[in-house]
């Protein structure tokens, strides 16, 4: 009986590797507290084992700017964290992939040079595929 259980466990492992728990956080909110909470929940999902990606659209795209507004960089209670600071930490420490909506930069009349290093514009077809990938949870703020 132990052999059958061990064999079953071995078969389950490759399936988990092929279909990891994925998280796609889509953030559009302008409110800094909502932006920070999106970062906190994404960080905790990563800590719990999720592979996470983030898509920033509209006002939330400003978090990804080299010259970001104070609302993106100012620390907030209770731990004096900022939306941009937490995002950068997850990018550096956890490999979080961050993209802006495809229409964000054209809407600003700018190119990718205004974005933080490592942030790229999203490709709509690739992002659409991300949304429907099995095992993906989409959080939208």
- pLDDT digit string, tens, across residues 36-93: 999 999 999 999 999 999 999 999 999 999 999 999 999 999 999 999 999 999 999 9
- What residue ranges do the domains of the chain occupy? 22-140
Percent composition of the chain: helix, strand, coil (DSSP 3-state, to 5) = 50, 20, 30
* Nearest-angstrom CA–CA distance, 5 and 11: 10
Give residue 88's pLDDT. Answer: 98
Of all residues in the chain, what percent carry a pLDDT higher than 70? 87
Give the strands of the sheet with 136-140, arranged side by side. Answer: 119-121, 97-100, 51-56, 22-27, 136-140
CB 100 within 8 A of CB 122: yes
Pick the closest to residue 101 from 74, 120, 129, 86 (CA basis). Answer: 120
CATH number of 22-140: 3.40.1260.10
* Nearest-angstrom CA–CA distance, 38 and 59: 14
List the alpha helices (DSSP H) in the chain. Answer: 2-18, 32-47, 70-73, 83-94, 104-108, 124-132
């Amino acid at each position: 009986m132990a052999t059958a259980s061990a064999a079953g466990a071995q078969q389950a492992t490759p399936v988990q590797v092929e279909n990891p728990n994925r998280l796609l956080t889509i953030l559009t909110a302008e409110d800094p507290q909502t932006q920070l909470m999106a970062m906190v929940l994404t960080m905790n999902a990563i800590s719990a084992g999720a592979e996470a990606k983030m898509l920033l659209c509209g006002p939330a795209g400003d978090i990804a700017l080299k010259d970001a507004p104070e609302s993106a960089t100012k620390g907030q209670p209770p731990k004096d964290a900022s939306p941009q600071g937490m995002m950068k930490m997850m990018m550096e420490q956890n490999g979080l992939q961050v993209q802006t909506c495809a229409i964000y930069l054209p809407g600003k009349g700018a190119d990718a040079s205004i974005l933080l290093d490592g942030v790229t514009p999203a490709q709509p077809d690739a992002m659409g595929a991300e949304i429907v990938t099995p095992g993906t949870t989409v959080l939208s703020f």
